[in-house]
Structure 1
Amino acid sequence: MKHLQTVTDFKYKALNWANQFDVCCFLDSNQYNQAYSEFDFLLAADFQFELKSSSRNSFDDLKAFYEAHQQWVFGFFSYDLKNQIEDLTSNNRDELDFPNLYFFVPKYLIAYKDGIEKVLIGHDSVLNEIENFEKIPSKQSGKLEIKSRLSEAEYLTKIDSLKEHISRGDIYEINFCQEFFAEHAEINPLETFEALNRLSPTPFAGFFKVNEHYILSATPERFLCKRGNKLISQPIKGTAKRSLDPAEDEAIKYALRGDIKEQTENVMIVDLVRHDLTKSAVKGSVKVEELFGIYTFAQVHQMISTISCQLNPEIHFIDAIKNAFPMGSMTGAPKIKAMQLIEQYEETKRGIYSGSFGCINPNGDFDFNVVIRSILYNSESKYLSFQVGGAITYQCNAKKEYEECLLKASAILKVLGD
């Protein structure tokens, strides 16, 4: 088995090699011992076939695309595909202009597991190409002026309004997000991702490039995966800041585990996910495998629950993705009303943020993350954006929710030099 440092060296060499192509996708578990993950990392580069869909039937387009090729496919789902599933709209500002859905069959696919790299698509000679690839010198990134779409006062006012909706019984919980952005932004996307992935390694991290569009993600959250006939979802609800003092850090972790407010938020989303999975499940097979699990990452402790079911053989697995989309952890409950209020109160179209990217293998197994803790960048318009949010319940403290947003943004802000 190779030493970890060698693994890291190979990983970033391979990613630099892949970045020469117009399209590539890198999915990295960062050596987290994450159940259901098949590989330590996957790297797909260049494309044989691609699907870019903004039609009214993007999920059906993907189904036809997958059935036509029955090969590894990598891609992403925009949050705004919600409008194809329910009677909803997205009319807020969008400076990034990502497609609603994009998938590709790669020309090259490299998998890494337990110290061994393997070429799944392409010739083994590609490993020599990677080893001998000379990194292209990058232009120095310019100074970014990062702005917030909402002032703190505006944020607090919106939270008060949302709590009024909760008190009226319109919703029980809503995931409310705000955008940070930079115009005229010149960054090296690959170097920025590498810095983010080193500072904040997470089990569902990734780099996705489609021409001028980039996703640089340090997400800790799995949306949905399929292994055989089993579907698994692992929503996150509950966050606590870490401490450098080990005893205090352990106390914070213990307090999060017993925090009634965080448990309340978490269980509401667990119920919503159970409901979403029921649409695709063998009757009686939906179960909560873990409730209120506490997992530790570089900046935060998170409360994560695991819900699973057996996939009904009459349901196509892409329909199972559609039935659970968008993920409940990023909407709220009841789901449709929460999404209507998200559109009403947020300032920015979510697009890829709180959408998902990942891959489907030739057997129909798949793994998709939740696009949070992620930088989105359009290198043509030079617009950079990242959003952060949290669960709003009647018991929440608006000021603390604002501070939690800044905590979630801290790794990105540090990487961007702000």
Structure 2
Amino acid sequence: MRLAEQFLQMIGEDADLEVRAYDGSRAGPPDAPAGFTVRSPIALSYVASAPGELGLARAYVSGALEITGDPHAALIEVEKSTVDSLTWTDKMRLVARMGAARVWWPVRRPALEQRLHGRRHSKARDRKAIAHHYDVSNKFYADVLGPSMAYTCAVYDHEDATLEEAQFAKHDLVARKLGLGEGMRLLDVGCGWGGMVMHAAEHYGVRALGVTLSRRQAEWAQKAIAERGLSDLAEVRHLDYRDVPETGFDAISSIGLTEHIGKANLPGYFAFLYGKLRTGGRLLNHCITRPDNAAPARVGGFLNHYVFPDGELVSPGAIVSLAHDAGFEVRHLENLREHYAKTLTAWCANLDERWDAAVREVGPARARVWRLYLAGSRVGFERNTVQLHQVLGVKLDGMDAHMPLRPNWLS
């Protein structure tokens, strides 16, 4: 059996993938929508030595393995991988047969692989985790995210909506769920590049404060606020949300922050936000969730090492229960899973269109991390291994929620 055939065996013989290898061998259907090119024996060592997608990711990030065709199609087939069912002896036998025995074992991990130290979710370690992912390049993010610089699930009001229209719709949906109005005060925790802060100030006359652990995000956001003439209403600070001194906010938005908090810290997180609201104020929590409580909260493998170090995901039920326990009355829950798949499809298209510029900006290894991460995340939302939930809660004013009898944000 030649190299390409043996590599395909490790991925899964029934996968609709074409594999080509550096020894000239080929396996799989030639008309497959995607495939792999094995450029070096190092790729084989990575795949055999690490479980599931992590080994493939290391091989791809290092350049020892190339994805041909559509990465999204390739990763759908990889989900059928049988490599985890192989015993260690089987893996070693395959590697030796494929010629990887000439490679040092274990092979060195790619330099971008992140390993954090210190107490998990301490302020110092959280700063490092956020810097790893977000303090990369604002230009790179602009190329991927588009003009909105919104790095969370968009909301598609119709199938043909553009990414920019859908991101505007997302910010406006959050504003309407929170009942924002002129003169109100909004706190946006984990505000990113300030999209929600600027939307609330510009379209609702709200005095909005955003905080982010990313210094580059804060610098970009403050400049954008000034350029849009919103400095009298909007502000973004480079600050841990736990260090916000102000209180008595009319509304709080948390869009894409909960994933970085840590399951053990969620009770304190909701209690802190509850304490920052005036009575009658609302919280809108928007975050990636797991579809059930069966899997561990901590993300593992490729995502933990390369994308979101220390990331943790819980179920929507856990979010609702913890918010309730902190004192919130939960009034609305919405799953936007399909919307995130569409958002990721648009981001993937942006990255492919600007691939050469992305490589120049952040280097080939980091660009490859992002190509894999975006395509893999799209697969996850499409196949319901992850979801996206918005949870709306209110800090009761006695027994009064100050809410409409029926949701008024649906039209």
TM (norm. structure 2) is 0.27
More helix by share: 2
Higher share in strand: 1
- Higher normalized contact order (CA 8 Å, seq sep 6+, divided by chain length): 1
Bigger Cα Rg: 2
